[in-house]
A = this chain, B = another copy of it.
Amino acid sequence: MSDLEAVSLRLEARGYRVTPPRRAVIAAVLQQAGHFSVEDLLHRCRGAGRATVFRTIRLLTELGVVCRVLLDDGSLHYRLSHRPQHHHHLVCTGCGKVQDLDDCAVSDLVRELSGSSGYEIEGHWLEFYGHCSACRSEVLAGVSS
C-alpha cells in the first residue's frame, strides 16, 4: 500500500471524502523532504486551490499525518509526522534539518505547574533551534577558506 493510499484510508475512516484536490495536496506533502510552508505547497500543487490547500493541511494536522513546526521567526511550517504521539522539534537554522525529540520534555513540568500555579495547563509550545553538525563544519570550513 502506498503512502497516499494509507493517508486516504485514514481520511475515509474519519468520514472525509478523498477528492482529487485532496489527493493532489497529499501527494505534494508526501514528496516534501523537510519542513515546508503552506505557500511552498501551493506552488508545488496544481490541482487544488488556495483555500483547499489550507483546509487540507488543517485536516492532515488533525489526523496527525503532518505536524506543525514553529520556526524561530514565528512562522508556521509543517512536516510529515514520524511519531504518532505529542513531541517537539530541534530545527537546524542552517539547512532546515529537523530532529524529532523522543517525548515531551516538559510533561513533568506541566504537572508540577498545574499544582503550584493554580492554572489548569492545557497546552504548550516548545521548539529548539540550532545548527546541526554538518552545518557547523561548513561554517568552520567557510571561515578558514
Show the binding face of A for B, using Cβ within 8 Å: 70, 72, 74, 76, 90, 92-93, 99, 101, 105-106, 109-110, 113-114, 117-133, 136
Measured between beta carbons, the chain B residues less than 8 angstroms from A70 are 74, 125
Measured between beta carbons, the chain B residues less than 8 angstroms from A113 are 90, 101, 128
Q: A123-B128, A126-B126 are in contact. List 15 more A-B contacts (CB 8 A).
A: A70-B74, A90-B117, A90-B119, A90-B121, A99-B117, A105-B109, A118-B133, A119-B128, A120-B131, A121-B128, A121-B129, A122-B130, A123-B130, A124-B129, A125-B125
Copies in the complex: 2
Please provide the 4 A-B residue pairs with the shortest distance between their CB atoms, ordered closest to farther: A121-B130, A119-B130, A118-B133, A123-B129
CA A27 – CA B66 in complex, angstroms?
A: 44
Asked if A119 meets B92 with Cβ closer than 8 Å, knowing A124-B128, A125-B70, A126-B124, the reply is yes
